[in-house]
Amino acid sequence: MTVERRRIGDRQVHPVGLGCMNIMHSYGPPADEHEAKALLVRALDIGCDFLDTATIYGLGRSEELIGEALGKRRQEYFLASKCVLGFREKQRTLDGRPEAIKAACEASLKRLRTDVIDLYYLHRPDPKVPVEESAGAMADLIREGKIRFYGLSEMGEDQLRRAHKVHPVAALQSEYSLWVRNPEIAVLEACRELGVAFVAFSPVGRGFLADPPADPSAFHDTDMRKVLFPRFSDENYAGNLPLLETARAVAREAGCSVAQLAIAWAMAKGDHVLPIPGTRSIRHLEENHAAAGVRLTAEQVSQLDAAFAPERAVGPRYSAAGQASVTTEMFDFEKSQHGG
């Protein structure tokens, strides 16, 4: 089946990209580096040409692996990375000042072994720096030829519109899946209106919509799902499992896996939506990539919308600390979960 490519800026990419966070970061110990490099090479070999990484992933190591594994094939893929959320002396930092953004870009270019980053995001809002100032630094980097486009990550409609007035935003990235519907409050439509690509990270619910863990309490101590994502907690997880019943039934009807169903559902929400599932498994990489060929009917999308109505999820999307680091919109019932 011919897959229609999707636009970021003036570029066209395969609609299902590869998120490169969990090869070195977040869901337990880092992947074996030889296996991680093999995954990256395989991604290009099957036509997955949109790779999304960040300074903070593995404290720079994710960017280095891409440079080491794919540096000689740089013209074959669209490369995204992120700044503001970074590190210094192995400690996380948050710095949206223009001079910090420009220094971070120089460091990322070296790690990625490239002279230009296609899409460079403000990874998180810095509450101490107006988004207009950070956007101005991105505009400078575009004029200098060090990045081609810039984007925002985990920000709401207000900051999107404010940044877009300084210099057009090419993409906004946020968590979006059957399990996390917050972009539907405002930013999904705002992106459509402004001609901004919407990049959906964690489209398979951090594994919940792929191979749901039998016992989240057995996660490795370094797995962020243990502390940052309350829906995986002992008191909430069992209440979320019934959500999968409809997904499994619709997946059988559509002739695909539940993970592919979740990715296809995100794609069905607009031709400006690009999901970027992450994985350490070549098998899952190939499965996710093939989801671009899954076509859901309007009835199937509506059935999934209803089964995964936002208020049916048990537990907030983020812990209080995680929610405090973003400016994404919340549903009214979520505000009460966070004391708002």
Residues with a catalytic annotation lie at 57
Buried b (16+ CB within 10 A) or exposed e, 46-63: eebbbbbbbbbbbbbbbb
The answer to whether the Cα torsion of 10, 203, 263, 86 is positive or negative is positive
Q: Which amino acid is at 81?
A: S
Backbone angles phi, psi at 281, to 5 degrees: -100, 130
Separation of alpha carbons 248 and 260, rounded Å:
11
Spatial contact of 147 and 105, defined as CB atoms under 8 Å apart: yes
The residue written with tokens 């973003």 in the block is: 326
DSSP state of 232: G
Q: Say how far residue 278 (Cα) sits from the centre of its chain.
A: 8
Separation of alpha carbons 178 and 313, rounded Å:
10
DSSP state of 3: P
Written as six digits, the tokens of 278 are 């992450």
SS (H, E, C) 109-128: HHHHCCCCEEEEEECCCCCC
